[in-house]
Amino acid sequence: MVEKYEFDTNGLVMSPSPHLFSKRTSAWIMQQVIIALIFPAIAGTYFFGLKVLIMLFVGIFSSVLFEYLYQKISRKKVTISDYSAVVTGMLIALSLPVTAPLWSIILGSGFAILIVKQIPGGIGRNVFNPAVAARVMLKLFFSPWITNWVTPEPDVVATATPLESIGYFSKTVPEEIPDLWDLFLGIGLGGNIGETSKLAILIGLAYLVIRGIINLKIPVLYVLTVAIIMSIYGDFSFTYMMSHVLSGTLLFGATYMATDYSSGPLTPDGKTVFAIGCGMLTAVIRIVFNFPGGVGFAILIMNALAPTIDKYLAPRIYGHKKRILRNSLN
């Protein structure tokens, strides 16, 4: 006699395919990004003092708190243990000058977590990079408070950023701009905390690549595109081209922001288009508009285009000569 067994499904969680197992959890990936962000944070603390640590604490604490409260109030699963809110808080704090008031960090964190990340559905469903969106929002509406640039200690004095001197149709590098080596190290350079030392950013980039968190395609193509356009526009002046590469948030944004999994394209060709698009937009904004930087706007515009880019650049299926539009597979 064959016994009949009943299978108990009460403990199973049903979810759509594919069902893949990976040791690389979201929390582990975010932990690696946090470690990579420590390098520019240490450099910023060295140049601008202990207030940087206070700004980082405020950014992290407010971002995590906003995420926790939203998920509790909306009766959703609390996901602060994935550390994504910690990364957002660190990016916002490092994207501001040391003179920025603490309330601007809290305001930026609330905008990033509530408006950009949680309302669209949380991590993985946000169209825009939360930290970049918060940075642009603060720059648009609160510039008098977050653009008070100063040179690093011990001689802390108000100053302009290098991009304010070499941007807006300029093809020359004024004498007051630090030389390329100082731009690389961050010596005597006014600007946002995280972008000060390019050496520290490159160490963080190397760590992320070695740990397999990102590949070099997006950062390299992004920076290379800006370098090529600035070289052509600047009559092939090496100093002019490198001054643009080493000034502003270009390296910081290319390393920590343009490589965001959630808001970037998924397809290999899409990543190429995304990176080149970010570079072209950044260069055009720096040249044409009297608005130094351009990295934040460029990344947000390409974030908005990422789904369309993926739609038309989905890889060809084996046996097919043409690409299959992503929507046609649904």
pLDDT of residue 114: 96
pLDDT of residue 329: 46
Domain containing residue 45 = 27-313
In-domain check, residue 165: yes
| pLDDT band with cut points at 50, 70 and 90 for residue 117 | very high
**pLDDT per residue as tens digits for the range 45-99:** 999 999 999 999 999 999 999 999 999 999 999 999 999 999 999 999 999 999 9
CA distance 171 to 60: 40
44-48, 174-178, 256-260: lowest mean pLDDT where? 174-178
Contact criterion met (CB below 8 Å) for 27 and 81? yes
CA distance 238 to 9: 66
Between 190 and 100, name the one with better pLDDT.
100
pLDDT of residue 2: 47
Q: Is the pLDDT of residue 156 over 70?
A: no
Report residue 66 as tokens: 């906003």
In-domain check, residue 98: yes
Q: Is the pLDDT of residue 175 over 70?
A: yes
**pLDDT per residue as tens digits for the range 224-250:** 999 999 999 999 999 999 999 998 889
In-domain check, residue 14: no
Phi and psi based region of residue 322 (left: phi greater than 0; alpha: psi -120 to 50; beta: remaining): beta
In-domain check, residue 49: yes
The amino acid sitting at 37 is: L
Q: Is the Cα torsion angle 240, 39, 296, 262 positive or negative in sign?
A: positive
CATH of the domain at 242: 1.10.3430
Report the predicted TM-score, pTM, of the whole model to 2 decimal places.
0.86
Contact criterion met (CB below 8 Å) for 240 and 166? yes
pLDDT of residue 285: 92
| pLDDT band with cut points at 50, 70 and 90 for residue 6 | low
Number of domains in the chain: 1
pLDDT of residue 214: 93
Contact criterion met (CB below 8 Å) for 97 and 151? no
For the segment 132-141, the average pLDDT, to the nearest whole number, is 93
CA distance 74 to 89: 21
pLDDT of residue 172: 77
pLDDT of residue 103: 96
In-domain check, residue 224: yes
CA distance 172 to 167: 9
Angle 84-94/102-110 helices, nearest 10 degrees? 140
Contact criterion met (CB below 8 Å) for 60 and 89? yes
* pLDDT mean across residues, the chain: 86
In-domain check, residue 194: yes
In-domain check, residue 306: yes
Contact criterion met (CB below 8 Å) for 258 and 299? yes
pLDDT of residue 71: 95
In-domain check, residue 297: yes
